[in-house]
Structure 1
Amino acid sequence: MSGPRVSVCMATYNGERFVRAQVASILDELQPQDELVIVDDASRDSTVRVLQGIDDPRVIVRAREVNRGYVRTFEEAISLATGDIILLSDQDDVWVPGRRELFVAALAEAEVAASNLELLDSGDPLPHPITRRPWRLRADQSAQGLRNNLRILAGVAPYYGCAMGFRRDVRERILPFPGLLTESHDLWIALFGNAHRTMRHIESVTIRRRIHDANASPSRPRGIGPVLKARVMLLRAWVTARSR
């Protein structure tokens, strides 16, 4: 065994259509000492059967009988990780070759890291929610903790859990997720990293994001009421992040 041990944490729910391709792209990246920790949130389809049929000792599957939602499912997966570096993964995207090494390098100097991503079908960058121009993280904004968190509150910071990771030695400060958090575990982690000025932006694309009708993260704009409720929740989460 050489170098850090990486744990990939995935939450699954009714993901039978795409999860095998996602797991294959992850395992192609992982080293023999690494692990893929998957917690299934009481899927009603064949997701668990598909996962249990993958013959690789690095894959650890825990099937939950009661559905608790993706935030608590990711929390459980993260709590089970044993690696030095923890990377998050959705069930339906595809990893870009080199993702593991980019995060290992970034997290040698920072506690939290986030990369860019592109759309799987087209290869296009994510569109900015307002300008529709390419929406990317910039490396030179990594240390702008206050500005980055204000961007999160404004809804214009492209932090996605599927393109994030952190060092295990900060897990005890990231977990447990605040009880008020009903969504956006990824933005909680980003708020934490920026609040403590230990965020590193990776400009490279490390994920190809699959957009489909069952994405946990909405691809369409929400109404003003849900948006305001979410912003208040994130503001409270920011206050909590600063105290940890």
Structure 2
Amino acid sequence: MNEVRVSVCMATYNGAAFVGEQIRSILTELEPQDELVIVDDASRDDTVDVIRRIADPRITLHPRAVNHGYVRTFEEAMRLAGGDIVMLADQDDVWIPGRRALFVRALQEGAVAASNLVLLGSDAPLRSPIRRVPWRLSARRSRQRLRNELRILAGVAPYFGCAMAVRRDVVDRVLPFPSFLTESHDLWLATFGNAQGLLVHIEQPTIRRRLHADNTSPSRPRGLAAVLRARWMLLRAWREALRR
């Protein structure tokens, strides 16, 4: 397992308050041959300085002068990654010990993997914004492609980029992200995995997710117009994923 090189891709933006704790939790998990690729999306606070103060040769930092949004920032980080496995990480969560090993093992069976997550501070499961019930992925449903995709379209599939990884041999197929993708890079990765029959669910939580006012992923249902736009984008993503 230690021969595998893992690249962790992080997009940062005004994350100075929490990014240091997240980076330390990641570095504790990584092996000497691994890397943490960080693309900063023109932060206006001292996020870049916080990262630079963490002296670890496994970190490579790429600050941007112009803000392009989190979707394109993650795309750039994935392009820069050189590892056999590409894991995604948000700037404000905390990794649970054992995360690296779980994903390395899962990606021996599939090419896209997604795990469950819990809330930082309580270890309670994240709850669905619609039904308010615990949101969990089931390993036995990993390859139920139509069911999984319908759940994505219905907004009840808990795929989060911070709890996802892809194998190197499919990175060039998931990239570039579709030009129409303005949000939900995580749902694009899950859609690709479903469309190609390559998705694996990890039932164990691997992330402690920090909820705060600036989370990119919404914690409450959105308005009807926004939902319809998002669903149309995801339908286009399914069609695009089938072609790749």
TM score, norm. by length of structure 1: 0.98
Encode CA deviations 1:77-136: one digit per residue, 9 max, x unaligned: 000000000000000000000000000000011100000001112211011233322110
Structure 1 position 239 matched with structure 2 position 235: no
Matches of 2:6 and 2:130, distance apart in 1: 36
Matches of 1:91 and 1:104, distance apart in 2: 21
Matches of 2:111 and 2:146, distance apart in 1: 17
Encode CA deviations 1:192-241: one digit per residue, 9 max, x unaligned: 00101111000000000000011111112211110110000011011000
Corresponding residue of 1:182: 182
Amino acid of the residue matched to residue 202 of structure 2?
I
Corresponding residue of 1:222: 222
Corresponding residue of 1:142: 142
Gaps of 5+ in 1: none
Corresponding residue of 1:52: 52
Amino acid of the residue matched to residue 234 of structure 1?
L
**Cα root mean square deviation, aligned:** 0.9
Matches of 1:146 and 1:242, distance apart in 2: 13
Corresponding residue of 1:116: 116
Shift of 1:11: 0.1
Amino acid of the residue matched to residue 198 of structure 1?
L
Corresponding residue of 2:24: 24
Corresponding residue of 1:66: 66
Structure 1 position 89 matched with structure 2 position 109: no
For the 8 Å contact 2:188–2:234, the answer to whether it is kept is yes
Gaps of 5+ in 2: none
Q: Alignment partner of 1:126: what SS?
A: coil
For the 8 Å contact 2:130–2:220, the answer to whether it is kept is no
What percentage of aligned pairs have identical amino acids? 67
Q: Alignment partner of 1:217: what SS?
A: coil
Amino acid of the residue matched to residue 39 of structure 1?
V
For the 8 Å contact 2:129–2:219, the answer to whether it is kept is no
Quickly say closer, same or farther: Cα 1:2–1:135, change in 2 above 3 A. Answer: closer
Q: Alignment partner of 1:14: what SS?
A: coil
Matches of 2:108 and 2:96, distance apart in 1: 20
Q: Alignment partner of 1:15: what SS?
A: coil
Q: How many aligned residue pairs are there?
A: 244
Matches of 1:223 and 1:133, distance apart in 2: 20
Matches of 1:102 and 1:215, distance apart in 2: 25
Structure 1 position 130 matched with structure 2 position 126: no
Encode CA deviations 1:142-195: one digit per residue, 9 max, x unaligned: 010111011101101000000000101101100000000000000000000010
